[in-house]
Homo-oligomer: A and B are copies of this chain.
């Protein structure tokens, strides 16, 4: 089967033009088909502050009121996405920037209000990823660059977590290609000792994860990250790798980061 890399980069890289350019230069050289999913970055909050839009968070997720939805639609879907597409084009790769509304790529439900009203936040529907469209444009030589925005099919854009998008796209493509999912973040991988960057745990599976959780090695925000990765593996994604964006080449060749399989 054709190999596909799904790579997610977050705000810490996006906020630093020099790191971002270094990353992109390495990324475009990865052997095989590629999809890039990007997160937000501080620029949305900076612009929001100037516009008088107050950023509110609950459990690490931005509360998306109508003004914030407009803000993220323009910053994620316009500024960040298009600057990244132009930068990748300059590297000789035929990038195409997409949100969930474009080509009906990602159809979502507005999250139901339970304890928290997250506002215009979207949870991707069952079979909500247009995998055939991605398959078609990948085979036409294009490199999709995906912003963390979905739509509800009724005219409303929705804000959706980029980690989740990368995972859902990987799962949807796993039936069509051999998918390897790389989450880039600001650590070298999952660390046995959080203050020691050399203590990267090379491999994790379900059993090791449960053990590390019991021992208190995996805590906080890393728990859902690993749970998501294991869920992708169960859905036939070949491999999930977590590591630092600066190591993208080594993450792809298996010489850095934490591999989950």
Sorting the interface of chain A by its residue count into under 10, 10 to 19, 20 to 34 or 35 or more gives 35 or more
Contact B94 A103 (CB under 8 A): yes
Contact B87 A82 (CB under 8 A): no
Contact B78 A151 (CB under 8 A): no
Answer yes or no: A201 CB below 8 A from chain B CBs.
Answer: no
Known contacts being A50-B51, A97-B99, A104-B94, is A156 close to B73, with CB within 8 Å? no
CA distance A90 to B158 in the complex (A): 14
Which residues of chain B are within 8 angstroms of A82 by Cβ–Cβ distance? 73, 77-78, 99, 101-102, 149, 157
Answer yes or no: A153 CB below 8 A from chain B CBs.
Answer: yes
Which residues of chain B are within 8 angstroms of A77 by Cβ–Cβ distance? 77-79, 81-82
Known contacts being A77-B78, A82-B73, is A96 close to B102, with CB within 8 Å? yes
Which residues of chain B are within 8 angstroms of A86 by Cβ–Cβ distance? 101, 151, 155-157
Contact A96 B103 (CB under 8 A): yes
Which residues of chain B are within 8 angstroms of A81 by Cβ–Cβ distance? 77-78
List CB contacts (< 8 Å) of A58-100 with chain B: 70, 73-79, 81-83, 85-87, 89-90, 94-99
Output the least CB separation between A176 and chain B (Å).
Answer: 17
Which residues of chain B are within 8 angstroms of A79 by Cβ–Cβ distance? 70, 73-74, 77-78
Output the least CB separation between A122 and chain B (Å).
Answer: 11
Contact A78 B74 (CB under 8 A): yes
CA distance A99 to B104 in the complex (A): 17
CA distance A137 to B140 in the complex (A): 11
A interface residue numbers (CB < 8 A to B): 47, 50-52, 70, 73-79, 81-83, 85-87, 89-90, 94-99, 101-104, 136, 140, 142, 149, 151, 153-157
Can you list 23 residue pairs at the A/B interface with Cβ under 8 Å? Answer: A47-B51, A47-B74, A50-B52, A51-B51, A73-B78, A73-B83, A74-B74, A74-B79, A76-B78, A77-B82, A78-B79, A78-B81, A82-B101, A82-B102, A85-B102, A85-B151, A86-B101, A89-B151, A89-B153, A94-B103, A97-B99, A97-B101, A136-B140
The 10 A-B pairs at the shortest CB distance, nearest first, are namely A78-B78, A74-B78, A90-B155, A74-B74, A74-B79, A77-B78, A86-B101, A85-B101, A96-B103, A86-B151
